[in-house]
Structure formats: C-alpha cells, structure tokens
Chain A
Amino acid sequence: MTVIVHDSSAILERSTARLRYLRALGGIVQREWLRFLRQHGRLAAAVVRPLIWLAVFSAGFRSALGLSITPPYHTYILYEVYLVPGLAAMMLLFHGMQTSLSMVYDREMGSMRVLLTSPLPRWYLLGARLVATTVVIIPLVIGFMLVARLWDVRPPMLGYLAVLPAVLLSGLMLGAFGLLLSSMIRQLENFAGVMNFVIFPMFFTSTALYPIWRLEDADVFLARLAELNPFTYAVELIRFSLYLRINLLALSVVVFGTLVFLALAVLGYQPERAWSIRRADA
C-alpha cells in the first residue's frame, strides 16, 4: 500500500516537474512574442531590411545576364533568385544578434536575474529562451520569401514547407551564437561593436551575396573565409531546402554549431565561471 502511495507521489512529482518545465517554456515564449510584437520598429525593420536589399541589389546590372549554375539550382538564375536565401539568413543573423542585445539589456535591468534564479536548470532556461526567440522570427522569414515572389523568385511551393526546419535550425545556431556573445558582453554600448565586428563580417564573408566560385574569382582568401564561416552553412541549408534538396554538410555544421555555441553560452552564464566576471578579475 505504502509502495503504491510512494509510486503515485513520485509520478505526481515527475508530472509537476514536467509541468514546471513546460510552464517555464510557455512563459518564456509568451514573453518573447509579446516583446517582439510590441517592438514595432524592430518588427518593421526585420521585414523591410531584406526587402530593401533585394530591391536595391536586384536592380544591379550584374544580375541581368544570369548567374552560372551552382547547386541546388538546375539552370541559370537571376541574382535576386540567388540573393533571397542569403537575405532570409540575414534576417536570422540580425535577429540572433539583437536577441543577444536584449539579453545584455535584461541582465542590466535585472529581469535576467529573475529568470536565472528559477529552480530549473540553467541550460534549460537558456535553451528555452533560444527556442522562444527563434520561433518568433520564423513567420517573418517565410513571409519575406513569399513577398520575394513579387521579384519573380519562385521556388517550388513545397519549398516553403521544406525550408521551415532549415530556418529553425539556422535560427537556433545564430541565436546560440548571439547568446554566447551576450555572455561575453558586459555593457549595452558594446553592441555597436557586435554590429561592426560580427554581423557585417559574417554576412559579407559568406555565400549570402555571392557563390563560392565568384568569391574565388575575386579573392581566394575570401572564399576560404566563407568556407570557415558558419553563417555560410546557414545560408546554404536554407537555399538547398527551399529547392527541396538536402545539403548534408550544411546540416551537420549548423547542428554542430548550435550545440557548441549553446554549450559555451551555458558555460558563460554559470555565475561562478562567467566570462565577464573572469575578465573583470583579470
């Protein structure tokens, strides 16, 4: 009899524990949603930024005669067709970095402390926040790719479905990278540095704007940099998925990158081993 009571209490404990985890995730997702939706400027910027890039860049003459064939494309494409997956990844990159900004802000304002004092494990809280921040941007990314149809960028309709996991994974990797950065940034003001030293270099030394062969033509060093840049693989994962193909290398790099960045970020957020504290000590 007592055994049964013990068992049921254990079950109860487990289920309340599970409930706690879910409630925490729900709370975090809800907070991110509300925050994102209320930041009208940021919301608008997230959509308008890639559209401006698309409009301005696709007007360039270099696109008029078509780009040579590179997988996953089966034929010649206009530059705007090439550009769209890169710009979708750019949305994720900006979003991931802005999230890292808000992380620093949260820490300064104290709401981060509230979150991290929750009894749930730190890796879970950070992971939940990462998932929450990534999920909010996905509809916008897909929306942008749909709007790009106005520029005659028309991947197969199934591609918009197939690209969802790729967008989520890439968003997670870039978000985890942002988390890692936020664990290392002490002040809000340092975000300008993130823009200059992280977002732009990552974006420009990737295959977002030009295929590898074109980078090689310009500068072999640039091409090698692009091959070492994790952002390249986020772009290619999205590009291939949008055209219903799987790029295994890109997939592996993005999954591996997510895990490594997240692990380092969790490590960085351990109060006793925080990079910032260690740096402050030094």
Chain B
Amino acid sequence: MRVLSAAAVFGLILATIAPAAAESIFVSNEQDNSVSVVDGTSLKVVATIPVGRRPRGILASPDGKAVYVAEGDDNRIDVIDPIARKLVGSLPSGKDPEQFALDPQGKHIFIANEDDNEVSDLDIAKKAVIGTVPVGVEPEGMAMSHDGKLVACTSETTSMVHLIDAHSLKPVANILVDPRPRSVIFSPDDKVIWVSSEVLGTVTAIDVASHKVLGHVRFAVPGLTREQVRAVGLEQTRNGKRVFVSLGSANRVAEIDPVSYKVKRYFLVGKRVWHVAVSPDQKRLYTANGNSGDISVVNLEDNEVTRSIPVGRGPWGVTVVP
C-alpha cells in the first residue's frame, strides 16, 4: 500500500513536471542571424541553424515539411528542412521582407516589403515573385484567410489594414486603424480580422464583410504605465475561443475573450515579447522575447507560464512544427 501510494505521488510529481509534446519550436534570432530549434519534450535547444541576415518572420508550411524565414537584410526567404534541421535553399522575396503569410495549400507566400511599400506574391514552386501590389507606407503585418481568398496587410505609417484579393492581387478595402498597426490575423471562420496597434497598445476586431469595427481592446497591466504597453504579435486558437496578444515591453501576453472583447488574463513572459505561436494541439503558447534572448512556454490548460528557455540574441518570431 505504502509502495503504491509512494508510486502514485511520484507519478503525480512526474505528471506535473513532464512537459508535453514531441513538437519542435523554431525561433528566428534577429540579431544572431540564426534560427534556434527547441525540442518540445525536453524544452532544450537542440540545434542552431545559421541563416541569412536579420531573420524575422518565420512560418512552417501547412504540411510541416518546410520552415520559411524572412531575411530582411538579404532580401530573401530561407527554407529550412525541419527534420534535418538544415538550411536547404532560399527564395526571392523583394526588398526587406519582414512578415509574410502562407496560402493554405502552401504554394504561395505573400510578403510585406517594408522599403518598397508593396506586397509580393511569391510562387514557391517557380521560386519567383509573380506579382506585387502597392499598399500603404511601411507594410508590416501579413495574414491570409483560411479559405485562401483574401490577404490582409497592415501598413505602419499609413495606419491602415489593406484587404487584397489573393488571386487578382487587387485591393478590396483599406481600413483605417489605430497608429502603427503591427500584426493582423484572420479568425478561424474568416469573418473577423484582428489588428494590433503598437503606439496606443490596442487591438481592434473588424468585420471582414462590412469592414466595421466589432470591438476595441485596451490593456491595463497593473504597475505599468500606458506607454509601456504595446500590442505586437497576435494568435487565435483553432476553435476561435482564445485570442493572444503580445504586449512588447510590458513583458506580457494578454488573452482576449473574442466574444466580450475583454482581457481575460495576462501572462508574464520575457522582456520585449514580439511574436507568439500556439502549439498544434492548442495546449501551449510559445513567445519570442526579443530583449531577454529567450522563449517562454505558456501552458494553456493551467494558464501558467511554465518555463523560459534561452535561445539566441533578439528572438523575433516563433513557429511550431508537429
């Protein structure tokens, strides 16, 4: 009996300690020109892949067979084989790529070219930019609807979010938002876009069909001034029930309730958190913390930040491969 209960206690301890899954987390280190690979089980850095200069935007292909990294100072997108953890090639991107979006089939990449004020449509198979569309000044955030019909792009200086037809590359709408919009995402049903604005630290939910504002979220982190709270990265769980916003130098990720547009909770993470990614099983959130050189792991079941793992210098983007 005693042995049994001891075993039960030990099992309980193990269950509380053991991290979850056999996934790999890929983190772009902006100042190190590298991508760190963190094993989802051991939560240790298992590889550091040298890539082009100033890597920022990072995304895994829908089939999980490639990881794309935008190299801002090399004007290209590098392709990483996530199994071999090696750089296997690169694609042209137009000037100064920062964020980009992948189409659901994994055939096209839509890239924000910050210096040229345009969005490039890159055909992955052809390894060529097959079209561009002019947008506002300093395009930054990029997203693609899950049905593959619309591309959304934010322009930081113009303070607009542009909706673009993905096939014709024609602008569908230009919607004014709060100053310096950084990121944009589509809700899982493609009916809503969420836009984060850095200067005021706000998030706006916009109806895709009517272009009307559905909700506006402000953040108040106890002990911090409004100026310290910036809104940067955005993520929504697949079931649409949880929206996460990284708050930059507030060192927090906020969770928003997408129905009431209220902040549900704040997660304390590393310094100057840029972008975030939800694990494929939707149980964890990973955050890239730019100034503390690490990523934080948030357990979304217990709503606890469980661990922070040092990676390279200036972690900017993060993506998870199952």
Q: Footprint of B on A, CB under 8 Å?
A: 59-61, 63-66, 68-69, 74-78, 154, 156, 158, 244
Contacts A64-B222, A65-B251 given: A75-B16 contact, CB under 8 Å?
A: no
Contact B268 A78, beta carbon cutoff 8 Å = yes
Q: Footprint of A on B, CB under 8 Å?
A: 9, 12-13, 16-17, 221-224, 250-251, 268-271, 292, 296-297, 304-308
CB distance from B246 to the nearest CB of A (A): 14
Chain A residue numbers with a CB within 8 Å of B13 are: 158, 244
Kindly identify which residue among B16, B221, B224, B308 contacts A76, using a CB–CB cutoff of 8 Å: B308
Chain B residue numbers with a CB within 8 Å of A154 are: 304
Can you name the residue of chain B whose Cβ is closest to the Cβ of A244? B13
Contact B222 A75, beta carbon cutoff 8 Å = no
Contact B16 A158, beta carbon cutoff 8 Å = yes
Contact B296 A75, beta carbon cutoff 8 Å = yes
Chain B residue numbers with a CB within 8 Å of A78 are: 268
Residue contacts A-B, CB under 8 angstroms, 22 given: A64-B222, A64-B223, A65-B224, A65-B250, A65-B251, A65-B271, A66-B251, A66-B268, A68-B292, A75-B268, A75-B269, A76-B268, A76-B269, A76-B270, A78-B268, A156-B16, A158-B9, A158-B12, A158-B16, A244-B13, A244-B16, A244-B17
Chain A residue numbers with a CB within 8 Å of B270 are: 76
CB distance from B314 to the nearest CB of A (A): 17
Can you name the residue of chain A whose Cβ is closest to the Cβ of B9? A158
A123 to B174, CA, bound (A): 84
A263 to B268, CA, bound (A): 46
Can you name the residue of chain A whose Cβ is closest to the Cβ of B223? A64
Can you name the residue of chain B whose Cβ is closest to the Cβ of A67? B268
A43 to B270, CA, bound (A): 40
Kindly identify which residue among B17, B223, B307 contacts A75, using a CB–CB cutoff of 8 Å: B307
Chain A residue numbers with a CB within 8 Å of B305 are: 75-76
Can you name the residue of chain B whose Cβ is closest to the Cβ of A76? B268
A156 to B306, CA, bound (A): 11
Chain A residue numbers with a CB within 8 Å of B296 are: 75-76
Can you name the residue of chain B whose Cβ is closest to the Cβ of A77? B268
Contacts A76-B296, A77-B268 given: A63-B223 contact, CB under 8 Å?
A: yes
Contact A74 B307, beta carbon cutoff 8 Å = yes
Chain B residue numbers with a CB within 8 Å of A74 are: 306-308
Contact A76 B223, beta carbon cutoff 8 Å = no
CB distance from B302 to the nearest CB of A (A): 9
Contacts A66-B268, A156-B16 given: A75-B306 contact, CB under 8 Å?
A: yes
CB distance from A160 to the nearest CB of B (A): 13
Contacts A74-B306, A75-B296, A76-B270 given: A64-B16 contact, CB under 8 Å?
A: no
Chain B residue numbers with a CB within 8 Å of A69 are: 308
A156 to B12, CA, bound (A): 11
With a 10 A CB-CB cut-off, give which of A59, A63, A65, A78 has the most chain B CB atoms: A65
Contact B308 A61, beta carbon cutoff 8 Å = no
Kindly identify which residue among A60, A64, A68, A156 contacts B221, using a CB–CB cutoff of 8 Å: A64
Chain B residue numbers with a CB within 8 Å of A244 are: 13, 16-17
A65 to B271, CA, bound (A): 8
A61 to B13, CA, bound (A): 35
CB distance from A241 to the nearest CB of B (A): 13
With a 10 A CB-CB cut-off, give which of A68, A74, A78, A158 has the most chain B CB atoms: A74
Can you name the residue of chain B whose Cβ is closest to the Cβ of A75? B308
Can you name the residue of chain B whose Cβ is closest to the Cβ of A63? B223
Contacts A76-B296, A78-B268, A156-B16 given: A64-B308 contact, CB under 8 Å?
A: no
Can you name the residue of chain B whose Cβ is closest to the Cβ of A159? B16
With a 10 A CB-CB cut-off, give which of A59, A60, A74, A76 has the most chain B CB atoms: A76
Chain B residue numbers with a CB within 8 Å of A75 are: 268-269, 296-297, 305-308
